[in-house]
Amino acid sequence: MPSYPDGPATCNTDPDCDVLIGDVGQHADNAVMLALYAFWAVLLLAIGSFLVAKRFLVGAAFEPNPISKGYSRDDSESKYGTAAAVGNELKLQPYRNVPLGSLAYSLVCAASLLWMAIYIVVLVDYYHDCQFESIDSTCFYGDYFIFGDYDNNSWVFFTLWWLSMAWYSMLLINKDELRNMLRWPCDFEEAEVIRVWTEEEKEEVLSLN
């Protein structure tokens, strides 16, 4: 029988190994953890403040008001471009980009990439310094130089899996509305983007740029 590598000693048991983070629950003041907390705080603050401002400053136009079938009017002069029906079929809602909404959307995109980056960090921690002799002769774990040992690494992976699943599910469910949710309703003359949809809720976005 071939002799398989045993794997390196975990950093929690090796006095010569410096653990970067260790137990996340006990090292919440770690610089890396503080940076992550700050990022999520800025993300939630940007989204929350934008949606609150949109709700109170735009009011009824926060959500386009559907117009009953058979009714058509030119709504280009109305404040915040309340949804208009064209030819009794198409409905229009103008939007423009504003700095806070664009920042919030950029942070949402960055957060989606961050989840994948954290997953890569967990994998690197799991297999770091793992002996590799051949395809059929390699160890099963590394030294856990980031989180210290298997238990901490597994806890981070488990938490990451559930939080990222909730995040990506939210994006998938709201994929049609997310971008316009972080845009500001406006007059047609100021519009950078116009939402177009019909009674069947089929819609597309027309860019005026």
Q: What is the pTM of this model?
A: 0.74
Q: Is 93 helix (H, G, I), strand (E, B) or coil?
A: strand
Give the bridge partners for 137, in sequence order. Answer: 134
Q: Residues with Cβ < 8 Å from 53, sequence gap 6 or more? A: 100
Residue 14 in tokens: 């090796």
Kindly give the confidence (pLDDT) of every residue in the chain, 209 residues in length, as a single tens digit, with 9 standing for 90 and above: 455 556 677 777 777 778 888 887 776 678 888 899 999 999 999 999 999 998 888 865 545 544 444 444 444 444 555 555 555 567 888 899 999 999 999 999 999 999 999 999 999 988 887 766 656 556 677 788 888 888 889 999 999 999 999 999 999 999 888 999 999 998 888 889 988 877 665 556 666 66
Whole-angstrom Cα distance, residue 90 to residue 195? Answer: 10
Per-residue pLDDT at 199: 62
Domain ranges within the chain, ordered by starting residue: 31-124+158-207
Residue 41 in tokens: 């705080």
The torsion angles phi and psi of 165, rounded to 5 degrees, stand at -65, -45
181-194 pLDDT tens trace: 999 998 888 889 98
Residue 157 in tokens: 């992976």
Whole-angstrom Cα distance, residue 209 to residue 205? Answer: 12
96-140 pLDDT tens trace: 999 999 999 999 999 999 999 999 999 998 888 776 665 655 667
